[in-house]
Amino acid sequence: MGDRPRNSVHFRLSNLFIFINFTIFRVFGKQNVLMIVVDDLRPSLGCYGDPNAVTPNIDLLAKRGVLFTRAFAQQALCAPSRNSFLTGRRPDTLKLYDFYSYWRDTIGNFSTLPQHLKSHGYTTMSIGKVFHPEHHPLEKFDVPDNYKWSENVSYAAYNPWLDLRKRDDVKKLDLKFPFQKIPRYYAKLIIQSYYAAVTYVDDLIGLLLKQLAVYNIERFTTVVLISDHGWSLGEHGEWAKYSNFEVALRVPVIITIPQVTFDPWIESSYATKNFTLPQNSDCSPKMGCIENRYRKKGYVMSDAMIELVDIFPTIADLTNLPIPLCIDDKDYRHKYKSNSTSMSSNLCSEGVSFLPVIYAIMYEKIIPWKKAVFSQYPRPGVVPTRNPNSDEPRLSEITIMGYTIRTKEYRYTAWASFNSSIVKTDWSTIIAEELYYHKFDVEENLNLSTIPEFSRIKNKLRNQLKNGWRKALPQRYKN
Ligand SMILES: *[C@@H]1O[C@H](CO)[C@@H](O)[C@H](O)[C@H]1NC(C)=O
Ligand SMILES: *[C@@H]1O[C@H](CO)[C@@H](O)[C@H](O)[C@H]1NC(C)=O
Ligand SMILES: *[C@@H]1O[C@H](CO)[C@@H](O)[C@H](O)[C@H]1NC(C)=O
Ligand SMILES: *[C@@H]1O[C@H](CO)[C@@H](O)[C@H](O)[C@H]1NC(C)=O
Ligand SMILES: *[C@@H]1O[C@H](CO)[C@@H](O)[C@H](O)[C@H]1NC(C)=O
Ligand SMILES: [Ca+2]
């Protein structure tokens, strides 16, 4: 597929360099874990209720597994996010917020997920610039309702999508920096291209999954599909990742486990399925439509709050090689009266296994889980700049760190002063705040941070954010 003539549109989205990074861990005996990491994929998927998506292969995978509707990246940038989930450490621990540093040299020689599982084969495939216009007529797309910057904004929240501006075609539009919207027609082309690339990746994933049937290993293979972060498609007038908004942080997480989430002896294999295109449903792509429902259209959905940092401990748990939670450095130093950090060599994680959520939901039970999840994004200054690149600042350029906490109902973000020479946040200097009430505002359009009625909840969330991820853990992980 994918070789149809492309005469109708000659816009190619090279920025959307989607690739699949798949790893088969053959752990012991007949147990395999196939991990599929799709670059830059937000949950624009049929199984997540997006009516514009054409993703029959991923949808079929989701039918055999559990789909997490509230899963978030630690930082909306490739390298920090990947390093975080592969080491099970958060960006503040790795002190890695950019593309340029390497944690093994500076912070600690941590074991990674593939190391831990002693992988036998690791293959990386890259694809991009691909179009499926036949499934995605331009008429079906429109720019999002909130294709604009909010009133009274702090510019710190925004990215000027510098990499998109580098393209020749976008350069020709001669947009004012940092804030001028891409013309609607072009914006629609970008959105169309994104969905087309997603469909292409879906095809590849279909081919990959069929191989499980060809090699007759479906019965022993757990499949984990994630993305490294989300993506803005015009929301808040933004493109790309580079922010603390929900659209940039929310990711798909789909896990299928033979004998647990599906019966491999009864359910037909990937090889024998014929796909039909999804019907338009009345479910809007906004997240609200799936909230609090764990079964919809044959999908088992969990709205437990999880983070990519949980992936390593979850796979470790699944393969009977569990890893413990990292010891709090403060406790460690107190206990051993030492300046050394506990983390530099320990095999441990700053996330937790969410396998209990999966087991529970297969018995139609919902267990209490994380109270909140945490992400962050750095900036060199309040106002977007080309130099330093405010989308991807180097560590030495960072002067502001935006921390964000997501609870079931709210997202609260604080942009605080940051000293890069000591890699430390100064919580006493908060430069800007944002508060969004997800119950009524899933698009994050209304910043409630100065509304008096919300000041109590805002203060509570600010404290929760400062107290950090340990305090938000499920009871069973607290000591
Ligand atoms: C990390 O540790 C491994 C062995 O555990 C070693 O081979 C490697 O050289 C170390 N890397 C660094 C940068 O210290
Ligand atoms: C923006 O600020 C102006 C005054 O600075 C105020 O009148 C207006 O209500 C504010 N709008 C929002 C959405 O907060
Ligand atoms: C949120 O609103 C407050 C108050 O109007 C303002 O100071 C802040 O800059 C706003 N933040 C964003 C990201 O718009
Ligand atoms: C799938 O489609 C092919 C070709 O149209 C057909 O021959 C086959 O019987 C179909 N298989 C199933 C399981 O419906
Ligand atoms: C950062 O911290 C160092 C060490 O405490 C201090 O000397 C320096 O002035 C700080 N820089 C800023 C910009 O506050
Ligand atoms: Ca990425």
Q: Could you read off the pLDDT of 437-449 as tens digits, one per residue?
A: 999 999 999 999 9
Q: How confident is the model at residue 136, as a pLDDT?
A: 82
Closest by CA to 229, choosing from 290, 159, 313, is 159
Please state whether beta strands 66-72 and 299-307 pair in parallel, antiparallel, or not at all (unpaired).
parallel
Structure tokens at 373: 């999840």
Q: Which of 109, 111, 115, 116 to mutate to test the pocket of ligand 1 (most atoms within 8 A of CB)?
A: 109
Residue with the smallest CA separation from ligand 1 atom 14 is 109
Query: How many angstroms does the Cα of residue 228 sit away from the middle of ligand 6?
Result: 5
Q: Report CA dihedral (324, 325, 328, 333) to the nearest 10 degrees.
A: 10
Which of 192-206, 348-362, 404-418 ranks highest by mean pLDDT? 404-418
Q: How confident is the model at residue 275, as a pLDDT?
A: 43
Query: How many angstroms does the Cα of residue 395 sit away from the middle of ligand 5?
Result: 14
Q: What is the pLDDT confidence band of residue 411, given thresholds at 50, 70 and 90?
A: very high
Q: Is 283 a catalytic site residue?
A: no
pLDDT tens-digit map of 199-229: 988 988 998 898 888 888 888 889 999 999 9
What is the residue whose two structure tokens read 């604080």? 414
Our CA angle for 21, 258, 209, nearest 5°, is 35
Q: What are the residues whose beta carbon lies below 5 Å from ligand 6 (ion)?
A: 39-40, 78, 228
Q: Is the CB of 421 under 6 A from ligand 5?
A: yes
Q: Is the CB of 422 under 6 A from ligand 5?
A: yes
**What is the C-alpha to C-alpha distance for residues 277 and 442, in angstroms, rounded to an integer?**
27
Q: What DSSP state is assigned to residue 120?
A: S
Task: Please say if the pLDDT value at position 433 is more than 90.
Answer: yes
Q: Is 326 a catalytic site residue?
A: no
DSSP sequence for 324-335: PBPPPHHHHHHH
Task: Please say if the pLDDT value at position 286 is more than 50.
Answer: no
Q: Where are the beta strands (DSSP E) in 13-131?
A: 19-26, 32-38, 66-72, 121-126
Phi-psi region of 246 (alpha: psi -120 to 50; beta: other; left: phi over 0): alpha
pTM of this prediction exceeds 0.75: yes
Which range, of 122-126, 235-239, 461-465, averages the lowest pLDDT? 122-126
Q: How confident is the model at residue 420, as a pLDDT?
A: 96
Q: Which atom of ligand 2 is nearest to the CA of 150?
A: 13
Q: Is the CB of 432 under 6 A from ligand 3?
A: yes
Residue with the smallest CA separation from ligand 2 atom 7 is 152
Q: Which of 60, 268, 272, 274 to mutate to test the pocket of ligand 4 (most atoms within 8 A of CB)?
A: 274
Cis peptide before 178 (omega within 30 of 0): yes
Q: What is the pLDDT confidence band of residue 116, given thresholds at 50, 70 and 90?
A: confident
Q: Is the CB of 280 under 6 A from ligand 2?
A: no
Neighbours of 107 (CB within 10 A): 18
What is the residue whose two structure tokens read 């624009």? 44
**What is the C-alpha to C-alpha distance for residues 377 and 83, in angstroms, rounded to an integer?**
15
Q: What is the pLDDT confidence band of residue 279, given thresholds at 50, 70 and 90?
A: very low
Residue with the smallest CA separation from ligand 1 atom 3 is 109
Q: How confident is the model at residue 362, as a pLDDT?
A: 86
Q: Is the CB of 152 under 6 A from ligand 2?
A: yes
Q: Which of 151, 153, 158, 415 to mutate to test the pocket of ligand 3 (most atoms within 8 A of CB)?
A: 153
C-alpha atoms less than 13 angstroms from C-alpha of 90 in its C-beta half-sphere? 20
Q: Which atom of ligand 1 is nearest to the CA of 111?
A: 5
293 vs 96, more confident:
96
Residue range 322-333: mean pLDDT, rounded:
77
pLDDT tens-digit map of 41-65: 999 999 999 999 999 999 999 999 9
Give whole-number Cα distances, 174 to 64, 169, 193, in Å: 48, 9, 21
CB 361 within 8 A of CB 294: yes
**What is the C-alpha to C-alpha distance for residues 184 and 163, in angstroms, rounded to an integer?**
19
Residue with the smallest CA separation from ligand 2 atom 6 is 152
Q: How confident is the model at residue 334, as a pLDDT?
A: 54
Q: Which of 47, 116, 132, 438 is catalytic?
A: 132
Structure tokens at 332: 């460690």
Ligand 1: which residues within 6 Å by Cβ? 104-105, 109
Query: How many angstroms does the Cα of residue 434 sit away from the middle of ligand 3?
Result: 6
- What's the chain's average pLDDT? 82
Residue with the smallest CA separation from ligand 2 atom 10 is 152
CB 381 within 8 A of CB 357: no
Q: Which atom of ligand 4 is nearest to the CA of 268?
A: 13
Closest by CA to 435, choosing from 469, 412, 466, is 412
Q: How confident is the model at residue 335, as a pLDDT?
A: 54
Residue with the smallest CA separation from ligand 4 atom 1 is 274
Residue range 425-446: mean pLDDT, rounded:
96
Give whole-number Cα distances, 232 to 58, 236, 265, in Å: 21, 8, 40
Query: How many angstroms does the Cα of residue 15 sit away from the middle of ligand 3?
Result: 30
Task: Please say if the pLDDT value at position 402 is more than 60.
Answer: yes
Which ligand does the CA of 420 lie closest to?
5
DSSP reduced 3-state for 250? strand
Residue with the smallest CA separation from ligand 3 atom 4 is 450
Task: Please say if the pLDDT value at position 474 is more than 80.
Answer: yes
Q: How confident is the model at residue 281, as a pLDDT?
A: 41
Q: Is the CB of 341 under 6 A from ligand 3?
A: no
C-alpha atoms less than 13 angstroms from C-alpha of 211 in its C-beta half-sphere? 9
Closest by CA to 46, choosing from 77, 71, 67, is 67
Q: How confident is the model at residue 192, as a pLDDT?
A: 92
Q: Which residues 6+ apart lie within 8 Å of 360 measured at CB?
A: 366, 367
